[in-house]
Chain A
């Protein structure tokens, strides 16, 4: 079946079998391999993407259910001008070790900060509760998101920045 959708602001389409998950669609049909396949059952959250302003496990969503919708993946966060404040904060603090959870962590964090850039530590933990990291113990990840939130809530941060 033909699936057409917006990915990171670009209209994309590809033909795929109906049983294709959004994750497989992104990785194997659109060659966007940022979202990762971890547990395959919704436990780890490394496949997290944002669809129409909400975070989803792309391994537990049919590509067909994302048709016509607006999908943001980790590839949509950085451009030639620079990286997203969350990515910058992760880099500065060394929030990742192996990095496999990173795309999901950052998308969950972005989904939270887009709605609430002044989120408390408790709210950050809540928003990340569906994402597992087996290296870091989460401390630096949470600190980075707090820092990114401060950047995103400052007057200097362009509010029109959609990615």
Chain B
């Protein structure tokens, strides 16, 4: 991989050094966290995007962290192009996970008063369009469950059948059931991160690199063990699913990239040039994109057909909003193959 760490750059023309710093393929567009010209953005102190999911109707939901936590909905398709703040949850400082069931949007938050599972109905697409008329239904979140004091949510996904969520806290695994609004804990299972593939299979991993295949059978979780991966999984693990392939991708804290199949078998496919990997998403043609590196992250791409990793440079937006992109924490791919990266930064 051509990277900026090991290259010497001697003799390189200034124009190449300069323009070669930034995104060298495709375009990035910085989308403000507001309805431009209509609403004010989410306060810059609260604007660290730490969670993204694609919901029904291709609405993107995001959770922010900062002085206060917010949930927003980003409408990107058709005559929309707006972000709507669905509400601030002032008792919390970080959104950890978002998921949805058949009826509800679910959010896991941490804060001074402990961890909470919040819920509200799934957002509707706005009435009319967002050029000359609009109408949004915005309803408040309610606290579905308060977790035990001092317990922190680490990750969550909706369960296989979207009847509840499966989450992990610093104590262990749990399942929240929507119908009964109750939690069942599996604290002996020390999973740290979760993901769900396109067929709704749920995978987990623990600090030793042990892969777990998680199935909820009418509310009761069944675990099958997959492979134990050799890597560094103490912290900073990033998962993502690949839409066209029956695999998930996993990054360890050293930038090692693995693919995991449905049986929980893994294969290391490469290594990013910078660490840590902070987020990844695969496009609908199978390419894997992600950000890596502290301070000023670089975008990388893995092309499965070629088996190669490439550094694509620093994120910059020149269409619409002019902004450099430095730190990202989450990413999702929509039906159109567009990747949305959540900027984990102020402003």
Are A and B a genuine interacting pair, yes or no? no
Binding site for A on B (CB under 8 A): none
Q: Which residues of A are at the interface with B, using a C-beta cutoff of 8 A?
A: none
